[in-house]
Amino acid sequence: MRLPTATTSKPADRAAPDKPLFGPVRAAWALYQLALRQHRHGRRWLVMLVLALLPILIAVITHLTETAIPARSLEFNLVFMLIPQGLLPLLALVYASGVIQDEQEDQTITYLLVRPIPKWLIYLMKWAAAVTAAECLAVTSIVLTYATIYGDHHSAVSIHDIIYRCAGTCGVQALAVLAYCGIFGLMGIVTRRVLVVGILYTALFEGLFANIPFNLRIITVIYYARLMLYRLMSFRVNTGYRVHDLAAQAWNFTPSPHHHLTGYPPDWVCAAVLFSLSVILSAVAAFVCNRREFYVKTPSKTD
Amino acid sequence: MVDSIVRSHEIKPVIAFHEVSKWYGNVIGINKLTLEIGPGICGLLGPNGAGKSTLLQLATGQLRASQGTVMLFGEPAWNNPAINLRIGLCPEQDALYEWMTGREFIITCARLTGYRQSAARNRADELLESVGLTAHKHRVVRGYSKGMRQRTKLAQALVANPEILFLDEPMTGTDPIARRHLLDIILRLADEGKTIVVSSHVLYEVQSLTQNIVLMNRGRLIAQGHIREIRDLMDKHPHRIVLVTPQCRQLASILMTWPHVDGIHLAPDNRSMTVATRQPDAFYAQLPAKVVEHSWQIDEVYSEDDNLDAVFHYLVDR
């Protein structure tokens, strides 16, 4: 017996469809803008904003309750300890890990996958938007924290010095955020339990390994950021009795014959490590993304 | 019986599945499916879990076949973003970017397709007009009714003016008026020459759109073609012809003596009977003469097997 295919409906004379000229750049830019707008919606944005404002709140409370604490000590504890060890990895984890997973969970990824945009480009554009969002919050947090700490007119530190330290910190921490986004972006592509894995990574690598005085810390992001900061600015505080090098103590940067911190690895290597780590990991993630399927659960029928 | 179907190659298929299987771990989504779909409307039917959505996701390049090939216009569907300019998908899931207005959503989809901002605006207005959402285009999608959401999803599927349109359960959850509206839009798009694949588990929705169907169950192709021709394939299963008559018992006793009548089922109210026959043509040829000869009063005659529901249940439950 013979059955026709489903072809018997009249194929009407098909006018040449009015196709948009495929502009990958335009589409990619539209995707970047969409991803940025997505970051501005929802509760996550508010939670992240509150977290980013936490160092400022602590600085305000400290100012109000504790007048004897030197500004540089407060700066060190907030800008060089709390922010890079707590806030920055968290910002990067939350934003970069959800690059694709968020769309998948929201079931909106279909609207991206059926567009003439390659999946690797979808990943990169959304990752770029995640980096932008994380960087904006990180820089805002650092700048406002500096403003709060040194906003006091009685501060002995010159405005020039404050701007220098703030700009240097922003630059170095921005590089660290970029590297974190590369790491967590890849994690978000290869595992569904990215938040758990990311927190474990942060605690183990950036928390434990980075703070022990062994060469193991060269596999952490924070080590390179600290090295650059340590060379860039002074962390010495005069307590009246003696001069403390806060960074050297807290980061185990005590000079010794085995530690050539003043020369090795040089700043450009540190910057290159962080930057290239980010580039390589995001390229790997884009490659994996391009080969991966993104299954969207279909709802149960109710009819 | 109907798994192997001889296909017509008079019209070159635009969608071709060849020996396609898709597994999700140990679960089979699609099982060795070979299928060709040409221009026009094609209804994709099957119960929940039949593999309809998987088939559409394979066709739109969202999923990669575990085995076999899926081709659109002779090109592979998987990882071929350029082909997305020629297809549109109205997905089953209800998700949209909830914080956008309907117009913003369509503009975004148009821009993701490569339109310039101004062209995207124009295209969005045009599409929203065509699906009847102009009055609501500035409302946030979150507040849309189910019917409005379905129309929004349909509009986004049309941004690239696709040649093939995949509609995954487009009528699910809509009220009768919205259904009618969606049906009209789909029929109009078919008249414009688009190839439309409509998946549904609600039989009458598809029946009102097309007689050309693909039946699936448990990931397998059960049958494909015109519903009546599919029915003809089921030669082991007799046709059922319903006679509505006040003389049920009298007629039944006579019809039972006809050689091509296999059985008769009387309705409980004695107002109609269902005749089972393997030779419907002979039955239909003989019936009018006998009606005149014996002055039977028959108010209505229809074949229950022209109803998609009967075919579907027969094929799926067999």
Structure confidence by residue, pLDDT tens digits, A171-226:
999 999 999 999 999 999 999 899 999 999 999 999 888 888 777 888 999 999 99
List of E strands, B38-148: 41-45, 67-72, 75-76, 87-90
Contact present, A97 and A198 (Cβ < 8 Å): yes
State which residues of chain A have pLDDT below 70: 1-22, 152-155, 254-263, 298-303
pLDDT band at residue B187 under the 50/70/90 scheme: very high
Q: What is the Cα–Cα distance from A205 to A59, expressed in whole angstroms?
A: 27
Q: Nearest by CB to B48, from A1, A22, A301: name it.
A: A301
- Does any CB of chain B come closer than 8 Å to the CB of residue A300? yes
Q: What is the pLDDT of residue A275?
A: 96
pLDDT band at residue B235 under the 50/70/90 scheme: low
Q: What is the pLDDT of residue B234?
A: 64
Q: Quick one: what percent of chain B has pLDDT higher than 70? A: 91
Is B93–A110 a contact, with Cβ atoms under 8 angstroms apart? Answer: yes
**Among A residues 94-133, those touching chain B with beta carbons less than 8 Å apart:** 106-108, 110-119
Structure confidence by residue, pLDDT tens digits, B59-115:
999 999 999 999 999 999 999 999 999 999 999 998 999 999 999 999 999 999 999
- Residues of A whose CB is below 8 A from B39: 7, 9, 11
- Tell me if residue A4 falls in helix, strand or coil: coil
Structure tokens at B283: 């039955």
Q: What is the pLDDT of residue A3?
A: 33
Residue entry with tokens 């569904």 = A192
Q: Nearest by CB to A299, from B93, B97, B108: name it.
A: B93
Picking from B260, B220, B187, B203, the residue whose alpha carbon sits closest to that of residue B5 is B220
Structure tokens at B253: 């006793």
Picking from B42, B75, B6, B22, the residue whose alpha carbon sits closest to that of residue B198 is B42
Taking only Cα atoms into account, the Rg of chain B, rounded to an integer number of angstroms, comes to: 23
Average per-residue pLDDT in chain B? 86
**H-helix or E-strand containing A236?**
strand A236-238
The CA–CA distances, whole Å, from A290 to A56, A184, B117 equal: 41, 17, 27
Is A17–B99 a contact, with Cβ atoms under 8 angstroms apart? Answer: no
Q: What is the pLDDT of residue A146?
A: 93
Q: What is the pLDDT of residue A82?
A: 94
- What's the predicted TM-score (pTM) here? 0.83
Q: Nearest by CB to B113, from A15, A116, A291: name it.
A: A116
| Interval B138-165 mean pLDDT | 94
Contact present, B190 and B41 (Cβ < 8 Å): yes
- Residues of B whose CB is below 8 A from A106: 95
Residue entry with tokens 């806060």 = A246
Is B48–A300 a contact, with Cβ atoms under 8 angstroms apart? Answer: yes
Picking from B80, B59, B136, B145, the residue whose alpha carbon sits closest to that of residue B105 is B136
Structure tokens at A217: 């810390």
Burial of A101-114, coded b for 16+ CB within 10 Å and e otherwise, reads bbbbebbbbbbbbb
Picking from B87, B96, B169, B84, the residue whose alpha carbon sits closest to that of residue B133 is B96
Nearest-Cα residue of chain B relative to residue A32: B112
Q: What is the Cα–Cα distance from B54 to A298, expressed in whole angstroms?
A: 9
Contact present, A222 and A85 (Cβ < 8 Å): yes
Structure confidence by residue, pLDDT tens digits, B195-208:
999 998 877 778 88
Q: Quick one: what percent of chain A has pLDDT higher than 90? A: 57
